[in-house]
Amino acid sequence: MSEQKLQSQTVQTTGHAWDGDLQEYNNPLPAWWVYTFYVTVIFAIVYWVIYPSWPFGKGWVGGVSNITYVNSAGETKTHSWNTRALLMEDLNKAATAQKPYFDKVAAMSYEQVAKDPDMSGFILSSGKALFADNCAPCHQAGGQGVVGFFPNLTDDDWLYGGSFDKIHETITGGRRGYMPSFGEVLSGGQIDQLANYVASLSGIGHDAAKAAAGNTLFHSETAACYYCHGVDAKGRKEIGAPNLTDNIWLWAGVPSAENPEGKVAAIRSVITSGLNKGVMPAWAGRLSPEQIKVLTVYVHELGGGQ
């Protein structure tokens, strides 16, 4: 009975019947839905007024909300709201918060920054973030490097020098390693002698007779190794030629070789094919001078700073 009452009295139908008795209710929309709809319309109109919205001619309606910021030229500007102006405001806020620290970094010498306990916390935290973003892909998270590719920054062996100034120079301008290949200039026997000599410098098992011949060759005009690596084979930092006497290996896979023969072979392969790698990108355009200074101190403090 109640169903009949519903259909016939309280609810209207669309008036059409399908298949004889199928009818469709024609209820009004729920009140909550209708009011929510009106609210969204009002919200949209308010939004148009406040924020950039409608295209207009060759531009658009900017909206009444403004953002004020200071740009790199020191000019204070007010611009209608947009994400790029918002970014400027965000950067201004961050710069203001960090200013006391960066001003201190800029004013102090490297030695002062490194020794100031107040600053070391700042250097550690901001330097760590900078290092992770920019340096860790090559030099690894802890600065330990990868043998055969990228130098270890935690030891006291430096290709180009481990002083604050030299580290700064390296980060700013980048580096490019180079060693000519001797495969076509020297015979296999000669390269073997040189490899044995280089191995002997680091106390790796070698053939003494070959090493002695290699010593002569190293200091001769035929191979002329001493031009770059120095008469004492301790390298020349001005050109990034490594010290060959400290048993620290960057290019030759000596540490991973299991026996002395393998270690000598690893050295041989570098002498034979030479190196045209060891490229470090320049960071001058990418990082600010203050950031480079922070990184310089951070890298210096990784362990091997001189």
Minimum distance from CB of 176 to other proteins (Å)? 9
- Work out whether 41 is an interface residue with other proteins (CB under 8 A): no
Which CB atom, from 150 or from 164, has the smaller least distance to other proteins? 150
- Work out whether 117 is an interface residue with other proteins (CB under 8 A): no
Task: Give the interface segment with other proteins, choosing from 33-41, 102-110, 146-154, 244-252 (CB under 8 A).
Answer: 146-154
What 3 state SS string does 43-72 have?
A: HHHHHHHHCCCCEECCEECCCCCEEEEECC
Minimum distance from CB of 24 to other proteins (Å)? 11
Which CB atom, from 177 or from 214, has the smaller least distance to other proteins? 177
Minimum distance from CB of 303 to other proteins (Å)? 20
- Work out whether 90 is an interface residue with other proteins (CB under 8 A): yes
C-alpha–C-alpha distance, residues 132 and 17, integer Å: 72
- Work out whether 77 is an interface residue with other proteins (CB under 8 A): yes
First to last CA, the chain: 99
Please count the residues of the chain: 306
**Binds other proteins (CB under 8 A): choice among 61, 138, 224, 292:** 138
C-alpha–C-alpha distance, residues 1 and 185, integer Å: 109
- Work out whether 79 is an interface residue with other proteins (CB under 8 A): yes
Interface residues with other proteins (CB under 8 A) are: 16, 52, 55, 57-60, 69, 71-73, 77, 79, 82-88, 90-91, 94, 133-134, 136-138, 140-141, 146, 149-150, 276-282, 285-286
